[in-house]
Amino acid sequence: MSLAIQARVAERGFDVSLEVAEGETLAILGPNGAGKSTLLDIVAGLLRPDAGRGEWAGTPLFDIGGRHSLWLPPHRRGISLLAQEPLLFPHLSALDNVAFGPRSAGHSKDAARATARTWLAEVEAADLESSRPGTLSGGQAQRVAVARALAASPKLLLLDEPLSALDVTVASTLRRMLRRVLATRTAIVVTHEVLDALTFADRVVVMNGGAIIEQGPTREVLERPRHPFTAELAGLNLLTGTGSAAGLVTSGGLTIVGESVGAGVKAAAAVRPSAIAVHAVPPDADNVVRVTVSDLEPRGDSIRVRTESSAAGGSLHADVSPGRAAALDLAPGAELYFAFAASEVSIYPR
């Protein structure tokens, strides 16, 4: 492992231990206040944890709470941070912003500018080199900021929701660009966008309340979530319980029919909302769950029906067409039946 961090910040209830391999891109998913930015600040050296150790390829970054306290300041870590806002230095041109890292590393003005031009070209912003940050659009500024972070030739790149301040079309262009530059680099990307994790990351870590609640290869975590929050992010329904011969039995006593993972094993079942059919009377299906509508939410060309089910032991949601919603006379409080085939359920040990 190349980066190994273990840190605690009592005030924020933060306690995390994390490793990132060289060349790997790690995505950190989690709701606001989960401690994602705190983690990045600690790695970058902008926030000092109460206790913990951090090292890069065997070289210590910090060691606090031990016998010999050690703290490497941010400028000696070789770790660049790209934030949600570009934070381009307002008094420098785009070119000099990008040249700032090489200049700080001791290169001559001309050499630094030559490096900066290469990186501006890399992010397709060569034509912006003499622009002042105040005249750039959000997408242009963020591209220059990416070039600036890369020009400092960091061994580790930290990205804190780099696309969330941009509008959708600009974000998708930049997402493609980031995918290209991150492919060969060691990076940590904080995001609350599943698409970002799928695009950039080899591995995801899901955080909540200052702790890591699950982690693993991106696809595995998103297809087989173990935690309701992860399921919510991945857009899946999650039912938890114990494995049985038929499939899985929830804590509410409901049997979910699907492939068996062995009786008595702690297990979870995931179902896509679009695989669920909604009925007013119990239909004939492998799995039928009685639910109470709690909320209706328009989602493009469909309506998301959010429900509570005591038998399933939590909330379930399904997507229906507006016509179907009208036919069912959907309203909060209505009783419905969710039906789905055994083949649509993914059951796995938890």
Partner 1 sequence: MDIRRSSTIPRWVIVVAVVGAVFVLFPLVAMTTRVDWPNFLVLITSPSSVAALLLSLRTSLAATAACVVLGVPLALMLARTEFRGQRLVRALVLLPLVLPPVIGGIALLAAFGRRGLLGQTFDFFGVTIAFSTTAVVIAQTFVALPFLVLSLESSLRLAGTRYEAVAATLGARPTTVLRRITLPLIFPALLSGAVLSFARALGEFGATLTFAGSLQGVTRTLPLEIYLQRETDPDAAVALSLVLVLVAVLVVGLTLRTSTVPSLVRRGTS
Phi then psi for residue 27, to 5 deg, are -100, 140
Between 160 and 214, whose beta carbon lies closer to partner 1?
Answer: 160
Cα–Cα distance between 4 and 23 in angstroms, integer? 14
Decide: is 87 part of the binding site for partner 1 (CB under 8 A): yes
- 293 CB contacts (<8 Å, ≥6 apart)? 305, 306, 307, 330, 331, 332, 333, 334, 335, 336
What is the maximal distance between C-alpha atoms in the chain? Answer: 76
Using alpha carbons, list the distances in angstroms from residue 155 to 82, 149, 185, 279, 318.
14, 11, 8, 55, 44
Residue of the chain from 39, 42, 83, 305 that contacts partner 1 (CB under 8 A) = 83
CA atoms within 13 A on the CB side of 250: 19
**Considering only residues 58, 90, 264, 323, which one is a binding residue for partner 1 as defined by CB under 8 A?**
90
Rule CB under 8 A: choose which of 59, 69, 104, 274 binds partner 1: 104
Q: How far is the CB of 343 from partner 1 (least distance, A)?
A: 50
What is the Cα–Cα distance from 175 to 195, expressed in whole angstroms? 9
Are 215 and 204 contacting, i.e. CB atoms less than 8 angstroms apart?
yes
Q: Is 74 in the site for partner 1 (CB under 8 A)?
A: yes
Dihedral angle over CA of 95, 101, 107, 110, nearest 10:
0
**Least distance to partner 1 from the beta carbon of 204, Å?**
23
Give the residue, chosen from 13, 59, 89, 326, that forms a contact with partner 1 under the rule CB under 8 A: 89
Report if residue 78 touches partner 1, rule: CB under 8 A: yes
Q: Which 242-271 residues touch partner 1, going by CB under 8 A?
A: none
Nearer to partner 1, 186 or 230 (CB): 186
Q: With binding defined as CB under 8 A, does residue 105 bind partner 1?
A: yes
Site for partner 1 contains 73 (CB under 8 A): yes
Q: Are 337 and 279 in contact (CB under 8 A)?
A: yes
Q: Which is nearer to partner 1, 145 or 278 (CB)?
A: 145
Per CB under 8 A, does 45 bind partner 1?
yes
Q: In this complex, which beta carbon is closest to partner 1, that of residue 104 or of residue 343?
A: 104
Considering the complex, state which of residue 88 and residue 233 has its C-beta at the smaller distance from partner 1.
Answer: 88
Stretch that binds partner 1, among 29-37, 97-105, 268-276, 298-306 (CB under 8 A): 97-105
Q: Provide the mask over 192-231, with x wherever binding to partner 1 is found by CB under 8 A and - wherever it is not.
A: ----------------------------------------
Of the pair 117, 290, the CB lying nearest partner 1 is at 117
CB 147 within 8 A of CB 162: no
The Cβ of residue 135 has, within 10 Å, a number of other Cβ atoms equal to: 10
List 2, 31, 33, 46, residue binding partner 1 (CB under 8 A): 46
Near partner 1 by CB under 8 A, which window of 88-96, 185-193, 266-274, 318-326? 88-96
Say how far apart CA 54 and CA 156 lie, in whole Å: 13
DSSP E strands: which ranges in 10-165? 14-20, 25-29, 51-56, 59-64, 70-71, 79-82, 156-160
Near partner 1 by CB under 8 A: residue from 44, 234, 305, 336: 44
Stretch 113-152: interaction string toward partner 1, x if CB under 8 A: ------------------xxxxx------------xx--x
For residue 240, what are its two tokens? 């938890």
Task: Please name which of 272, 279, 271 lies closest in space to residue 335, comparing C-alpha atoms.
Answer: 279
Q: Which residues contact residue 54 at a Cβ distance below 8 angstroms, ignoring those fewer than 6 apart?
A: 3, 4, 5, 6, 7, 42, 43, 60, 61, 62, 63
**Interaction between residue 79 and partner 1 (CB under 8 A):** yes
Q: Least Å distance between CB 90 and partner 1?
A: 6
Contact set with partner 1 (CB under 8 A): 44-46, 73-75, 77-81, 83, 87, 89-91, 100-101, 103-105, 131-135, 148-149, 152, 158
